[in-house]
Structure 1
């Protein structure tokens, strides 16, 4: 019964990872293709793209790295959906569960932080800042701003999905622990030391 529940949770995790992969790729593709050029006075060409600010470049790289990580984890989920041993925890399996937990946490927090920083830059481009002497870009480059907004929205959806995935990896790790803090359940693990022989 527990094996069926774990198998079901693995399928849910695979679906969430597929959606997270799709939204991260969509955010990156929308951002990398976002280029707008305007001609002033018939001579001067001004082009804006994601290279306008450092945070948009970092966002692009973060979205691609997050998508690659979720692709690898998706392959893992699909490979082990039917072969998950739900009643024993080996030492290597335990280490892997800790690494999945930590990596999922890092990816979720980094994507969320980058999305928030991109949102701040978008508001700065939308409304400008007199103190920072930053003019309103969105009044002149409307299509660029709309497309960046779409990329940030995809990043926000990906952040929500990554938070859900992080919750699943947290459950997959800590279900092996008893209510006593960080004490493994002795009946469910195979990493206990063998009895000493005299």
Structure 2
């Protein structure tokens, strides 16, 4: 199977599917309403910058996980065949997985924070509530954000697997040895 285990491959495929679902739910969500009897207003994800960033980051994270999935099948050998030559690769994969988790989680959190203004409004800035008029739009965005958080959790598990693959190169016996007198 290469350098990637079946559990990690399954999780990466699951994350790819959830990320694509999240990006599609946000990107293709739109609702048109007639306001004040003559004004037509269309709500899309482009109305909020945080949702635009979320679509791009989720798409990039899906591509990243797809590349990592292919990396597991392209590199020769198995986990048992790894030597110290792969320590640098393991470090880079660990750091990239960590960065991907944090960036996806941050993008989802920023989108949730920005979406709360659509739910509650902001009277001091004279922003009106939008979710009482565009309920289907807001419910679909909420579902997409929930999917994004599930993807973040699965990516954190993948990152933990990556950490295990990295730190198994370092012997705990040598790490905990005290200097002799």
Q: For this structure pair, what is the TM-score category when the shorter chain's length is used for normalisation?
A: 0.7 to 0.9
Structure 1 residue ranges without an equivalent (≥5): 1-5, 184-198
Change (3 A) 1:76 1:111: same
Look up the match of 2:41.
46
1:108 to 101, 122, 125: 101
Look up the match of 1:83.
77
Q: What is the CA-CA distance between 1:48 and the residue it aligns to?
A: 1.1
Structure 2 residue ranges without an equivalent (≥5): none
Look up the match of 2:115.
122
- Distance in 1 (alpha carbons) for counterparts of 2:79 and 2:160: 21
Larger CA deviation: 66-75 vs 34-43: 34-43
Secondary structure (helix, strand or coil) at the match of 2:33 reads strand
Q: Pairwise mapping of residues 19-168 of structure 1 onto structure 2 (< 5 A)? A: 19-79=14-74, 83-91=77-85, 93-168=86-161
- Render the CA deviation track for 1:49-82: whole Å, top value 9, x for unaligned: 11111111100000000000001111223445x8
Contact (CA 8 Å) 1:37, 1:46: kept in 2 or not?
Answer: yes
Aligned length: 176
Change (3 A) 1:153 1:85: closer
Secondary structure (helix, strand or coil) at the match of 1:38 reads strand
Secondary structure (helix, strand or coil) at the match of 1:22 reads helix
RMSD over aligned CA atoms reads: 2.4
Look up the match of 1:172.
165
Contact (CA 8 Å) 2:87, 2:169: kept in 1 or not?
Answer: no
Greater share of residues in helix: 2
Change (3 A) 1:138 1:158: same
Contact (CA 8 Å) 1:14, 1:78: kept in 2 or not?
Answer: no
- Render the CA deviation track for 1:142-182: whole Å, top value 9, x for unaligned: 1110110111011010000010000000110011012355x
Secondary structure (helix, strand or coil) at the match of 1:138 reads coil
Q: What is the CA-CA distance between 1:113 and the residue it aligns to?
A: 0.7
